[in-house]
Copies of this chain bind each other. A is one copy, B any other.
Amino acid sequence: MGLTEPDPTDEVLRALAEPRRRTILRLVAHDELSAGEIAATFEVSRTAISQHVTVLKNAGLLTERRAGTRRLYRARPEGLAGIRAFLDEMWAGALDNARRLAEAERGLSDDVEAERTG
């Protein structure tokens, strides 16, 4: 059990950091496509695309379905839930920060006013 526990959020974000992988995700979000159809979209070799697909699959962003000799891939929206939570947390934190700034400004204007009226 000495395996380094992989952070799901980290794996998803690293998977999304690659432009080609995002393109693949867009492709299979709209339609279910085979590995060959996906690879035909790009100029790089099918090997590279296969590796990208593997990364996306390991990140939980893709679902594989075998049909004959072909393998069909489809986007998996649940895989993005963690990222969404992260973004919401960040946004809430930043808003909280903005609120603090607003309060600080109010307290600051008091001081300023004390100076001005004093």
**Contact of A43 with B by CB under 8 A:** no
* Copies of this protein chain in the complex: 2
Q: When the two chains form their complex, are residues A76 and B90 in contact, meaning their CB atoms are under 8 A apart? A: no
A57-92 to B contact mask, C-beta < 8 Å, 1/0? 000000000011000001111001001101101110
Tally A residues with Cβ within 8 Å of B.
39
**Which of A25, A77, A96, A98: most chain B Cβ within 10 A?**
A77
How distant is A67 from chain B, measured CB to nearest CB, in Å?
Answer: 6
Q: Helix, strand, loop or mixed for chain A's interface? A: helix
**Contact of A31 with B by CB under 8 A:** yes
How distant is A13 from chain B, measured CB to nearest CB, in Å?
Answer: 5
CA distance A97 to B75 in the complex (A): 8
CA distance A101 to B76 in the complex (A): 13
Among the listed B32, B87, B101, which residue makes an inter-chain contact with A80, where contact means beta carbons less than 8 Å apart? B87
Residues of B close to A13: CB separation below 8 A: 13, 16-17, 22
